Amino acid sequence: MDLNFIQIILVIIVAFLAGVEGILDQFHFHQPVIACTLIGLVTGNLIPCLILGGTLQMIALGWANIGAAVAPDAALASVASAIILVLGGQGEAGVSSAIAIAVPLAVAGLLLTIIGRTLATAFVHLMDAAAAEGNIRKVEMWHLLAIVMQGLRIAIPAGLILAVGAGPVSSLLESMPVWLTDGLAIGGGMVVAVGYAMVINMMATREVWPFFAIGFVLATVSEITLMGLGAIGLALALIYLALSKQGGSGNGGGSNTGDPVGDIIDNY
């Protein structure tokens, strides 16, 4: 699929915002489900990109920066794989290949992230010098330039992929043999399962397991739509918030530890 000039500009803007949000983490443009959906929206491939973003989001749920350990770059993986999916022109059939491509892209993005953060240390020293001079405007300028650098970290690779064009990308995807595409689809499914398992492992507390079990059982009921599951999830969240205000104090002498279900279990 060939993109017109306006679509190319919009895709680069989305890529830039994803790079910026990878650091600011305020509006979550770097999250796969948002970045891929926005690219699909501006290119007219909303459904395939939405499926791609939702699947990648399940993988990225297990990615988190812990201390000095930097997680794989979800922003580059989302933007680049969505662009490749759009340029390939395979629609929903190309989602599996795009998912498999996204994982090594995330690792490559990790390297770019480390380089960007290393360069950002120079900006910090420049801001310190400006602060010592009492020049607040210069501090703000260097701060904005550092943020722009993070946006370019995603926008430039996105622009390079767009420069390659739809023809080579489509030819590459179509030349992949069936055994490779099937293998990538299976591998992508396994990565999704591993990512979700990592999240469950981090959330595995007695306070959360009852809600997870309820949701798991309800998800197997085919008559319940996604809207219905969303409403049930919202109701459970409201129940949990209501319990968090009570804690264990409702049964006499208990203390509110911040884990409402745990407090209730202790008291009973």
pLDDT in tens, 114-123: 788 788 888 8
What is the average pLDDT value for the chain, to the nearest integer? Answer: 79
**pLDDT at residue number 250:** 42
**pLDDT at residue number 177:** 74
Q: What percent of the chain has pLDDT over 70?
A: 76
**pLDDT at residue number 265:** 57
| pLDDT band, residue 57 (cuts 50/70/90) | confident
**pLDDT at residue number 253:** 44
**Range in 4-18, 67-81, 150-164 with the lowest mean pLDDT:** 67-81
**pLDDT at residue number 191:** 60
**pLDDT at residue number 67:** 54
What is the torsional sign of CA 18, 23, 27, 33?
A: positive
| pLDDT band, residue 239 (cuts 50/70/90) | confident
**pLDDT at residue number 180:** 67
**pLDDT at residue number 152:** 92
Mean pLDDT across 5-10: 93
**Range in 105-114, 236-245, 255-264 with the lowest mean pLDDT:** 255-264
pLDDT at 149 over 50: yes
pLDDT at 208 over 60: yes
pLDDT at 249 over 60: no
pLDDT at 255 over 60: no
Query: Which pair of tokens denotes residue 180?
Result: 């490779």
More confident residue, 69 or 42: 42
pTM above 0.95, yes or no: no
**pLDDT at residue number 101:** 79
